[in-house]
Amino acid sequence: MTGMLRELSPLDRLLSLIDQGLKAGLGPRGAVAATGRPSPAAGRPDSGPTPGSAAARHAAGLMRVNHAGEVAAQALYHGQALVARDPAVRDFLLAAAREEGDHLNWCRERLESLGSRPSHLDPLWYVGSLGIGALAGLAGDRLSLAFITETERQVEGHLEEHLARLPPEDAASRAVLEQMQRDEVEHGERARARGGAELAAPVRRLMRLTARLMTTSAYWI
């Protein structure tokens, strides 16, 4: 896959990104590239909140936020991979994107089980995050890896917050978020091991503000 990406023309790459964005933001579950890992909720008795109940709507709002976050993660990794200078860094980014594709599918599955839907703003998150990812990548592979390190650190904290806010009876969603959290920690550690440094404090604050905007709006819209 990575070799094919390097041989594409700039127009081909742009068209590929548009296709991936449509699949991530508007496509059905399973449309994006993923590793195919089964959902952590698979085989688990779903004794969670009844669809339509207040608890189910709250759980769905949280999972909609997480689904939107995974749409953004796809775009960030795709944008960074598009302009990565080191083939090894590009390989890492694309492999991480496929693992995030698993997360996207798991969140979509939980939304369906809760009788809900993804955010209507998902295409916007993809386009905006793609631009951010490309800008981070253009700044150099080291800064691009630092951006991943900080992103995954913030996502880990965000998932911890959601685990505390989930309805206690929603064990299926909890299993999904716990595995996602473990994966995000690993992505951050792998990026750090490849040379990702600390971002400047103003950049970290801007990232937190941007994430807050997305999480607040995706819960409802």
By the 8 A CB rule, do 156 and 106 touch? no
Q: Is residue 22 a part of any domain in this protein?
A: no
The answer as to whether 39 is a domain residue is: no
pLDDT tier at 217, thresholds 50, 70, 90: confident
Find the radius of gyration of the CA atoms of the chain: 17
Residue 183 included in any domain? yes
Burial class (CB in 10 A: 0-12, 13-18, 19+), 161: exposed
Residue range 140-157, pLDDT digits in tens: 888 888 888 888 888 888
Residue 81 near residue 27, CB atoms below 8 Å: no
Q: In this structure, is residue 127 part of a structural domain?
A: yes
Q: How far is CA 151 from CA 52, 88, 221, in A?
A: 33, 20, 23
What pLDDT shows up at residue 176? Answer: 93
Residues 111/63, Cβ–Cβ less than 8 Å: yes
Q: What would the mean pLDDT of 104-115 be, rounded to a whole number?
A: 90
CA nearest 175: which of 86, 114, 127, 103? 103
Domain membership flag for residue 14: no
Amino acid at 87: P
CA distances from 178 to 96, 103, 173 (A): 17, 11, 9
How buried is 28 (Cβ within 10 angstroms: 0-12 exposed, 13-18 middle, 19+ buried)? exposed
Structural domain total, the chain: 1
CA 78 centroid distance within chain: 11
Give the C-alpha distances (Å, rounded to integers) separating 77 from 113, 134, 144, 160. 28, 9, 10, 22
Lowest mean pLDDT among 19-28, 109-118, 170-179: 19-28
In a domain, 40, yes or no: no
Q: Which residue segment(s) compose the domain that 208 sits in?
A: 65-220
In a domain, 58, yes or no: no
Helices in 84-170 by DSSP H: which ranges? 87-113, 122-138, 141-165
The tens digit of pLDDT for each residue in 85-101 reads: 888 888 888 888 888 88
DSSP calls for 34-80: ---PPPTTTTS----PPTTSHHHHHHHHHHHHHHHHHHHHHHHHHHH
Rounded to an integer, the average pLDDT of 36-65 is 84
Residue 125 belongs to domain with CATH number: 1.20.1260.10
Query: Tell me, what's the pLDDT at 13?
Result: 59
15 located within any domain: no
Please give the residue that has the higher pLDDT: either 6 or 185.
Answer: 185
